[in-house]
Chain A
Amino acid sequence: QQPVQSPQAVILREGEDAVINCSSSKALYSVHWYRQKHGEAPVFLMILLKGGEQKGHDKISASFNEKKQQSSLYLTASQLSYSGTYFCGTDSQGAQKLVFGQGTRLTINP
């Protein structure tokens, strides 16, 4: 039931792009993305809902392929502040709760 994230870790230089993927074996109602900085609580980035609706920050871009139960988070022109661990969470049909993947650690170097 837990979604699978890839890659597990990414190291970028400032200004480079990254894509983080999230996949589930279950049909999904929604996919959530959160970012957690070291020693801090996770912070909401985006929700992608079945049917196409999205809610989130303007500077964040993501996609949701409902047929494949997959989502991708796109980080373009990365900034040092983007560093952290990114978690996808999924609410699958029949589950009625949010379950998170293991996370993707993103490091941005100057």
Chain B
Amino acid sequence: GAGVSQSPSNKVTEKGKDVELRCDPISGHTALYWYRQRLGQGLEFLIYFQGNSAPDKSGLPSDRFSAERTGESVSTLTIQRTQQEDSAVYLCASSLVWIRGSGELFFGEGSRLTVL
């Protein structure tokens, strides 16, 4: 596709349910990020994938959060047993290269998660 695609764009769920958020990066982009943005707040780093290297999971807030990426393609962010504080926009971004921060990030439109 022409840009980073995320789905669903909006998700409303009940507390305690599991949710899956999908990110389809730009073809050929080796680096992929997930960020969380709470209402009116900044971009909180969650996880980073670079090619076939082990992902940097240091930003995941709890073990309820996990993410996978198959090769250099689609990534899925899973939140188990959702809590109200998980409500936020989850942004995915990809980059063609990531050598010492040299690559421009292209962001998707985000998945807005609301936990009731």
In the complex, A43→B35 CA distance in Å? 14
Interface residue A98 (Cβ < 8 Å from any Cβ of B): yes
- B95 closest partner in A (C-beta): A98
Contact: A91 with B101, CB < 8 Å?
yes
Interface 9-residue window, one of A14-22, A44-52, A67-75, A76-84: A44-52
Interface of A is mostly: strand
Please indicate the chain B residues that have their CB under 8 angstroms from the CB of A29 in the complex.
Answer: 100-101
The answer to whether B107 touches A98 (Cβ under 8 A) is no
Chain B nearest CB, measured from A88 CB (Å)? 10
Contact A47 B104, beta carbon cutoff 8 Å: yes
Write out the residue numbers on chain B whose beta carbons fall within 8 Å of the beta carbon of A41. Answer: 91, 107-110
In whole angstroms, what is the CA distance A98 to B91 when docked? 14
User: CA of A76 to CA of B44 in the docked complex: distance in angstroms?
Assistant: 29
- Interface size bracket, B side: 20 to 34
Shortest Cβ distance from B91 into chain A, in angstroms? 7
B43 at the interface (CB under 8 A from A): yes
CA–CA, A101 and B37, complex, Å: 12
| Chain A positions within 8 Å of B42 at CB level | 87, 100-103
Instruction: Indicate if the CB atoms of A49 and B101 lie closer than 8 Å.
Output: yes
- B residues at A contact (CB < 8 Å): 33, 35, 41-45, 48, 50, 56, 58, 91, 93, 98, 100-110
A100 to B93, CA, bound (A): 13
Interface size on A, residues (CB 8 A): 26
Give the residues from 34 to 67 in chain A that come closer than 8 angstroms, CB to CB, to chain B: 34, 40-44, 47, 49-50, 55
A89 contacts which chain B residues (CB < 8 A)? 43, 105
**Most B CB atoms within 10 A — which of A49, A87, A98?**
A98
- The answer to whether A44 and B100 touch (CB under 8 A), given A100-B45, A102-B41, is no
| Residues of B with C-beta under 8 A to A87 | 42-43
Give the chain A neighbours of B105 by CB distance below 8 A.
Answer: 32, 34, 42, 44, 89, 98
